[in-house]
């Protein structure tokens, strides 16, 4: 879905903002993964609801990180094409 976004309507400033936000959000999701790893080492006892929530988070992250990285790259390429 992110691949179908038309970035040509954005000006260079908006593209730079989009790239920065995409990178920041991907970094935040990766930080969350590192935090989960740390917490699981300290408290490996999770109940069924905790595992379900963790599974949803991991699935969402697995889809969002590549999409955000792709959007970041597309925004930068579009910005280069503008200038």
Q: Using the predicted structure, report yes or no on whether residue 69 has a pLDDT greater than 90.
A: yes
| pLDDT reported for residue 51 | 82
DSSP conformation letters of 6-46: -GGGS-HHHHHHHHHHHHHHHHHHHHHHHHHHHHHHH----
Average pLDDT over residues 51-69: 90
For 9-47, what is each residue's pLDDT tens digit?
A: 899 999 999 999 999 999 999 998 898 888 888 877 878
pLDDT of residue 24: 94
Neighbours of 21 (CB within 10 A): 14
CB atoms under 10 Å from CB of 57, counted, come to 14
pLDDT over threshold 80, residue 8: yes
Q: What pLDDT shows up at residue 1?
A: 67
The pTM assigned to this predicted structure is 0.76
């Amino acid at each position: 879905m992110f691949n179908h976004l038309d970035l040509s309507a954005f000006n260079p400033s908006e593209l730079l903002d989009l790239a920065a936000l995409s990178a920041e959000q991907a970094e935040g999701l990766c930080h969350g993964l590192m935090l989960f790893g740390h917490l699981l080492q300290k408290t490996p006892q999770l109940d069924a609801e905790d595992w379900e929530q963790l599974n949803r988070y991991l699935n969402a992250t697995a889809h969002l990180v590549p999409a955000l990285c792709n959007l970041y790259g597309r925004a930068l390429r579009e910005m280069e094409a503008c200038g």
